[in-house]
Amino acid sequence: MKFWLEKLIFFAAFILVLAQLVLFTGGSVVGVNYGLLGDNLPPATAVINLFKAEHIPLVRLFEPRADVLNALRNSGIKVSLGTRNEDLPSLAGSPTAAAGWVRTWILPYKDNVDFTWVTLGNEVVPGNYASCVAPAMANMQAALASAGLTNTKVSTVVAMSVLSASYPPSAGVFSAESAPHMSKILSFLARTGSPIFVNCYPYFAYAAAPQQISLDYALFRAKTPVVDGNLKYYSLFDAMVDAFIAAMEKISRRYGNLQVVVGESGWPTAGNPPHTTVGNAHVYNQNLIKRVKRGRGTPRRPGIPTVAFVFAMFNEDLKPGGVEQNWGIHYHDGQRVYPLRF
């Protein structure tokens, strides 16, 4: 009886994740990160018009700005809105601060901006702000609920560096520094039916070990799989996502059913030759879009649609030199670096 009860609970959680994906995003969809670390970027209205012209249905914002939120009014674009990392201590320590944030950045726009997610912290686990994430999420969720925004989900964004092992994917496990914080974060997300955002960059893994990882495997073009038990992997992206899922399952099996949103993924066009080329970036991002929109899930979690955000909308010249300035799918003037079909 216990075996069948566990099976029933697992299946119910699977269906819940699937229903939430369809409800909040429409299924397997790809958005784009809109960063603002450039001194020569187009005005926000032009950028949102570019999103609409290129049929990009989701935007991820790293922090709130009035000009961007005003430009998003009546756009039909679903929004993931982040808080600044430095605001986490106040948001964690004061429900009043969270209510004030909602009052300033959500309520004036809520009638004609589709706030799908609010994310508390970007890649702060592990680190000085890590202990702030779970209480900040709880305060933000309460503030949104008090404002009547029960359909806006609260989450955080973590990097793959929260894992101490990721190969093979089934060996995925959180590091000793990250695990206590991730346990509290995942508990909150499971309780509220919210996803976890994970930044997943096959480029960095490939560039660090090009003799061990084939370019075709990193670019979704592998013909021969990497085998992990009874699972076969034809892309490094799927292997990385499943390593993160395996790490969640090691904390609790029920966390393996949490929705995973890929908050960032992309490939730079310059800064680290010969790996960073326009051709490689074009192939990676177009194949990422194709992979997500097929809706097949990953080998560890087949049939579960994926939501992902390409990094990024523009090359940003205020970032450090090298690859960091060259992730954009558009130049600063809005011209395409290479064409993508969303």
Point out the residues that are catalytic. Answer: 123, 264
Question: CA-CA distance, 164 to 186, in Å (whole number)?
Answer: 17
> For residues 39 and 321, what is the distance between their CA atoms, to the nearest angstrom?
14
For residue 143 the two structure tokens come to: 């503030």
Quick one: which H or E segment has residue 147? Answer: none
Taking the CA atoms of the chain, what radius of gyration do you get in angstroms? 19
Q: Is the peptide bond before 126 cis (omega within 30 degrees of 0)?
A: yes
Residue type, 102: V
Q: What are phi and psi of 222, to 5 degrees?
A: -65, 140
Separation CA 180–CA 260 (nearest Å): 19
User: Are 192 and 153 spatial neighbours (Cβ–Cβ below 8 Å)?
Assistant: yes
Comparing CA positions, the residue from 244, 137, 234 lying closest to residue 192 is 137
| Distance separating alpha carbons of residues 174 and 162, to the nearest angstrom | 6
Closest CA to 102 of 62, 158, 64: 64
* H-helix or E-strand spanning residue 282: helix 278-293
Cβ contact 265:288 at 8 Å: yes
Which of 237, 317, 219 has the alpha carbon at shortest distance from 277? 219
**For residues 171 and 167, what is the distance between their CA atoms, to the nearest angstrom?**
6
How far apart, in whole angstroms, are the C-alpha atoms of residue 227 and residue 222? 12
